[in-house]
Chain A
Amino acid sequence: MKRPPWFTLGFSALTLAVHFVPALGNVLQFDRAAVAHGQVWRFFTAHLTHFGDDHLRWDLLAFVVLGSLAEGVSRTAFLTTLGTAAPIITAGVWASQPQFATYRGLSGIDSALFGVVVASLFVAGWRDRHRFSIAIGGLALASFAAKCAFELATGGTVFVDTSGAFAPVPLAHLLGMLTGVAVIWRSQLVSARLSMADSWLVPIDCKEPSSFTSSTSAK
């Protein structure tokens, strides 16, 4: 039987709790001045905070869906992605987006999980020589990268209304997606050596076989 995505649900609950306690948002958000004073936890916690209900709604929905899928692929990959993408995204904003004094939002993490899911599909398609999976995986990654590139190049956004109370940060999405892909890529290097189980998308975690494992293939 499929194991519930406990970590995804847990992080979602935590995000909701932070949202409904505004004082927590101020303590956890990325804040340049506070980081300069040594509050480095904000690199990790900024993603749990949001500027308002509208900001939270879609970010959290995407997290629940993508988190569940990614956790289904591999809980280790899911947690590794969260642990690496969180500081990479905020460090990217900190280093190259000086116009932002603060940063909040889960969408960078959503993008990382998207990278995990799509890269897994791509790798599985490649391994099984399933051209449709390769095409969909490649198309999804390419279109996501193109969207981010457009937004970075033009300063505009494809979908997000920029007239709201904060400015969208396309760089966060790009960094997130690349981190997710990198996690899968690295786990493939490991799994290729360890010859591991096949999950519903791609085998990446020999220590924690997925309940979706359908067969074991030695390569």
Chain B
Amino acid sequence: MKTKSLLLTGLLALATGFAPIFAGGTLTPVGSPHAPIQIRSHQVNVTINNGFAQTEVLQTFFNPNPTDLEAIYAFPVPKSASLSEVTITSGEKTLNGEVLPKKEAETIYEEEKSKGNDAGLTTKNGYQNYEFKITPVRANAETRLRFVYYQPLEIDTGVGRYVYPLEEGGTDEVAKSFWQPVNSTVEGNLTINVELKSAWPVDDVRVPGFESAAATKKIDAGHYTVALDRTGAKLDRDFVFYYRLSDKLPGRVEVIPYRADKSKPGTFMMVVTPGLDLQPIMHGADYTYVLDVSGSMQGKIATLANGVSQALGQMSPNDRFRLITFETNAREILGWTPATPENVTKATALVKGLQPGGSTNIYAGLQLALKDLDADRATSLVLVTDGVTNEGIVDPAKFHALIKQNDIRFFGFLIGNNANWPLMRVMGDATGGFYTGVTNADDIVGQLLLAKSKIAFESLHDASFKFTGARVSETTGDLPQKIYRGQQLVIFGRYDGAGKATVTLNAKLTGADKTYTTTFNFPEIDTDNPEIERLWALAQIEQIEVKEAIGQMPPSESKDAITSLGVNYQLVTDHTSMIVLDDATHASRGIERRNQQRIATERTAQSVRAAQPVKNYQVDAQQPTYSAPAPHVSHSFGGGGGGALERDDIVWLAAILGLIGAAYVGRKAMKQKANKE
């Protein structure tokens, strides 16, 4: 087996080729034409503390128009982000947000708007974006908007990745027409501060594209800060922050609990970093690449072809591959083909000749890809798309059923922001697939390395986690089905009662049963990380959305469950919105201040954490779950190893040879002298 990256290389590489469509993070007036609202400053503070990230965004806008305006601010929805806090400051007034059922929040906003009062409304526009409505944005005055969201961060093969999304993915035509033209230039400073606090030593941090502009400071082995401060910057490029943990770290289980009251259930986030000695796939395997060539792929085909030609040359003749493209319809542009040099040339020419156009029929592409599979050969399906399915079958339940029919390894790559995460989740759920996003700002080669190490290596099958010894309930992520090399798993759940609990991972590896287990204690009280509750609630919501999408839960039941979780844990969802009012209006309307209380608890915990060294939550240090170290990116090249020299090696060699020459001359002179004597 060789590198299994065929089109993946091209598909990831094409991410380098797509031009930004327009910027997110801008405030736009509603209604008749007005001068664009100016962005005076844009500040982002990110704290990554072990398993999750807190992002605080502070923006100052200025309305240069002579009249008050209603304006909308849009922000792409980051993957698994729980928007928890919104504050609007206008003049002397400060407005704070409380989450209510969507209709109720919208009604209150409209009522306050009609009265000419200050109000804000934050809604979630599906998977596309969050919208913040503000009324009024005062004439010739500044308005400040602050919001906070949390998201769990997974570490893949020793590399952590955080994305602050700014570039619009352009998947929503209606939004696109509304937002253009926009003023996405920050007239003052764009400031991004990242603080990384890791319990595990970090070897390196990187911000691709901002290496020279960002100031990086290492405070200790796992503690780094990165500061980026720019004037006149445009909000049209994602900010990506990578951190690479040290090599040879153990496979491990970490449990971050939260329980404030002994009489109530606790919540936990379990982060499992398997130390699995998964081997490269040695026998020939089949790879189907399903490529989106719809109209939005214009300008990316040449890049795709270059990637294909490079990757094909590294495949083994034992492997077979085929190429399927889809737009309005799907077609097989190359059937099952051994990866011989002749076929490589043929495939490259085919991809170079592709013409993008039409709408996006992902289902047709998948349907074709799942035909003519060889049951005796391991099959991987790699889907790369930058769009939203809008042609043919679009029902997620049908996608789920289609993919579930076959025992395949599914790899999904979503290009750009505003991408269809819910659909990808549904497809991943069907077979335990792996999916990830790629943005223009990503280190594409780095992403490629990580993807290759999953595709080219064997994986655990039929994987499931089981808790015993403690009453654990309402879990998410405990049935991963498949576990790929370097993949980190995040499991959320609740527990009743403190004490010993045992977690067991049961799985199969090439037919043999594998069991990994460890025992740990759930604490009676632990108030260090109250944010875990919101993250747990969001994971529950995502699980409910998948169940609804595949027909396992009626929409009405799903809506009730999501509304209840959204209101109780103060999360903006498809069925809940955040109404932003001043304290007096909240009081006069009798709105319960659940978010205010939750925020106060979170801020107290954050202050305590900021003053303390980072805490290590590993629970299996005494009884390691895994005997092997966690896979690391430095050992992840599932393809070619090369005996390689570089220019600097040659310079070093030349210096050594110079010295050797001098030694030879010196020794010869010494001998001649000795002979004369």
13 intermolecular pairs with C-beta atoms under 8 Å apart: A33-B318, A50-B642, A51-B314, A62-B653, A101-B1, A101-B639, A102-B639, A103-B643, A107-B649, A133-B664, A155-B632, A169-B641, A172-B641
A97: B residues at CB distance < 8 A: 641
A101 with B656, Cβ < 8 A, contacts A107-B643, A130-B666, A132-B667 known: no
Whether B653 contacts A114 by the Cβ 8 Å rule is yes
Whether B664 contacts A200 by the Cβ 8 Å rule is yes
A128 with B671, Cβ < 8 A, contacts A58-B646, A62-B650, A160-B646 known: yes
**Interface flag for B124 (CB, 8 Å):** no
Separation of A124 and B666 alpha carbons in the complex (Å): 12
Chain B residues numbered 628-662 whose CB sits less than 8 Å from any CB in chain A: 632, 634-650, 652-653, 656-657, 659-660, 662
Q: Which of A22, A100, A139, A165 sits near B341, CB closer than 8 Å?
A: A22
Whether B668 contacts A214 by the Cβ 8 Å rule is yes
Separation of A124 and B667 alpha carbons in the complex (Å): 9
A34: B residues at CB distance < 8 A: 316, 318
**Interface flag for B584 (CB, 8 Å):** no
Closest A residue to B647 using CB positions:
A58
Number of chain B residues whose Cβ lies closer than 8 Å to a Cβ of chain A: 55
Chain B residues numbered 81-118 whose CB sits less than 8 Å from any CB in chain A: none
- Looking at chain A's contact residues, the main secondary structure is helix
A59 with B643, Cβ < 8 A, contacts A128-B670, A156-B634 known: yes
Minimum CB–CB distance for A210 against chain B, Å: 13
Binding site for B on A (CB under 8 A): 22-23, 26, 31-34, 36, 47, 50-51, 55, 58-59, 61-62, 65-66, 69, 89, 93, 97-111, 114, 117-118, 121, 124-125, 128, 130, 132-133, 136-137, 139-140, 143, 154-156, 158-161, 163-169, 172-173, 176, 200-201, 214-215
Whether B316 contacts A101 by the Cβ 8 Å rule is yes
Chain B residues numbered 524-575 whose CB sits less than 8 Å from any CB in chain A: none
Whether B668 contacts A201 by the Cβ 8 Å rule is no
Whether A167 contacts B641 by the Cβ 8 Å rule is yes
**Interface flag for B313 (CB, 8 Å):** yes
Whether A163 contacts B642 by the Cβ 8 Å rule is no
Separation of A205 and B636 alpha carbons in the complex (Å): 44
Separation of A156 and B645 alpha carbons in the complex (Å): 14
Whether A100 contacts B667 by the Cβ 8 Å rule is no
Whether B640 contacts A130 by the Cβ 8 Å rule is no
Whether B670 contacts A166 by the Cβ 8 Å rule is no
Which stretch, B49-57, B276-284, B364-372, B380-388, touches the partner chain A?
B276-284
Whether A166 contacts B642 by the Cβ 8 Å rule is yes
Closest B residue to A110 using CB positions:
B645
- Interface hub of A102, A108, A214 (most chain B Cβ within 10 A): A102
Minimum CB–CB distance for B285 against chain A, Å: 10
B668: A residues at CB distance < 8 A: 214
Whether A105 contacts B2 by the Cβ 8 Å rule is no
Whether A107 contacts B645 by the Cβ 8 Å rule is yes
Minimum CB–CB distance for B338 against chain A, Å: 11
**Interface flag for B595 (CB, 8 Å):** no
Minimum CB–CB distance for B74 against chain A, Å: 34
- Interface hub of B642, B645, B659 (most chain A Cβ within 10 A): B642
